[in-house]
Amino acid sequence: MKAGVTGVRVTGVLLAGGQGRRMGGVDKGLRELRDKPMAAWVLERFVPQVDEIIINANQNLDIYAKFGHRVVPDEIGGFAGPLAGLQRGLTEASHPLVATAPCDTPFLPTDLVSRLHAAISAQSAQLAVARTGDQPHPVFCLCRRDVLPHLTAFLQSGGRKIDAWYSTLAVVEVAFDEQPDAFSNINTVEELKAFNADSLR
């Protein structure tokens, strides 16, 4: 969703700030899926949808920088989770809307941002989130940059759960039921091996 289409610019934040505990404590975004880091697969689909990319990472910052985008760590220490990554992304974003995608979901929809934008605009919401069936996917969101003070206060109070923060906002869920596998994430070595055994969708 480039600004030329809607007149509104969007910053994309690639969330790569986790510890990868279920992957054996390794940086998931840098694990290779079919001879390419998972983060590269995500960026391939995400970059065309936004006007700038920020990579949120808390380790291997120099390696992530080789993807050609600005890399920023969480402001809050201790691997505080995706909300901490969103908070830093909102802080650094150049544009009024911020979209997020995690580094371990190489099949994300190529129309993710445009559909979230249509919903957030139609509903005058603060945040739009993807959903398949009854399952929301909170790390795939589009939010207004002006929620930053509210999110910062939530984190400073000790809040970490995405659902708890979302419940305080005007949120619209956007159905992607025709793409049920687009939000598949790769959390474990076994899952990575399974996806590597198949052809990439």
**44, 12 Cβ separation under 8 angstroms:** no
Task: Please name the fold of domain 3-197.
Answer: Spore Coat Polysaccharide Biosynthesis Protein SpsA; Chain A (3.90.550)
Please give the chain's pLDDT, 201 residues, in tens: 555 445 689 999 999 987 545 444 568 889 888 778 999 999 999 999 999 999 999 999 999 999 999 999 999 877 668 999 999 999 999 999 999 999 999 999 999 999 999 999 999 999 999 999 999 999 999 999 999 999 999 999 999 899 999 999 999 999 999 998 899 876 656 665 656 656 544
CA distance 200 to 46: 16
Among 168, 191, 198, smallest CA distance to 24 is for: 191
| Beta carbons within 8 Å of 75's beta carbon, 6+ residues apart | 84, 87, 88, 91
